[in-house]
Amino acid sequence: MPIGDALIMKNDIKPNGAPEGADPINFEPIDSELDAEQALKAQQAQEEAALLEEAFVIKMATRRDERYASFYLVYAVDRSDYAMTLDEAVDAFEKGFEVTIPARSLARILAQGAIDNRTELDEQIKPYLKNWELERLGCCTRLILRLALWELQQPDVVTSIVINEAVELAKAFAEKDAYRFVNGILDEMVKTRQAAQATEAAKEEPKGD
């Protein structure tokens, strides 16, 4: 089964046009800026799909492979507008790549965490965007941030590794230079959390007489 058929739900983009003899003024967009933004999003979706098609074959031999697999899974579910379940995405992935994803694999755990907690994760990301709306982020960038942020909130993780892996995902799948954006956002989030933890720890220290 081709990877695209297994994992990517492509929308047919049909050109708009006025019927023959109709007044062309009636077919001008009401909001040209909104129309341009929609066209940009459609272009981004096509570019992201092309990147996914061209990606190397995953062998599930390393932790990085598993993180790549988790990205493919959340991408497939997100493109279906969450009508597809994770199990369905895994089944399509396994057929498309001819690999097996165990039930307790890192790939499944990361994907499930990012999918189940996507609303909360988005709310945690928003304050760090700085004059940028979450909805304007490319699909792949947003999903990579969700995956990394959810993993960073798990116990006993090495933050530098998680951030580095997110950067590598962004280099492979997100828009040009998006990896810099991903690195900056995650680094700031980690520093803010560490500062808050240090403040709480200082409050809990016993005070001398």
Query: What is the distance between the alpha carbons of residues 33 and 35, in angstroms, rounded to a whole number?
Result: 5
Entry pTM: 0.71
Q: What is the dihedral of CA 181, 187, 189, 192, to 10 degrees?
A: -140
Quote the pLDDT of residue 47: 66
Per-residue pLDDT tens, the chain, 209 aa: give them: 434 444 443 333 233 433 344 343 333 444 555 566 677 777 777 666 665 555 445 677 899 999 999 999 999 999 999 999 999 999 999 998 888 999 899 999 999 999 999 999 999 999 999 878 888 899 999 999 999 999 999 999 999 999 999 999 999 999 889 999 999 999 999 999 888 888 877 777 776 55
Quote the pLDDT of residue 29: 41
DSSP labels for 151-188?
HHTSTT--HHHHHHHHHHHHHHHSSTTHHHHHHHHHHH
Fold of the domain spanning 3-9+22-200 = N-utilizing Substance Protein B Homolog; Chain A (1.10.940)
Quote the pLDDT of residue 71: 96
Contact 111, 148 (CB under 8 A): no
For the chain, which residues make up each domain, given as ranges?
3-9+22-200
Quote the pLDDT of residue 6: 41
Contact 147, 157 (CB under 8 A): no
Quote the pLDDT of residue 197: 81
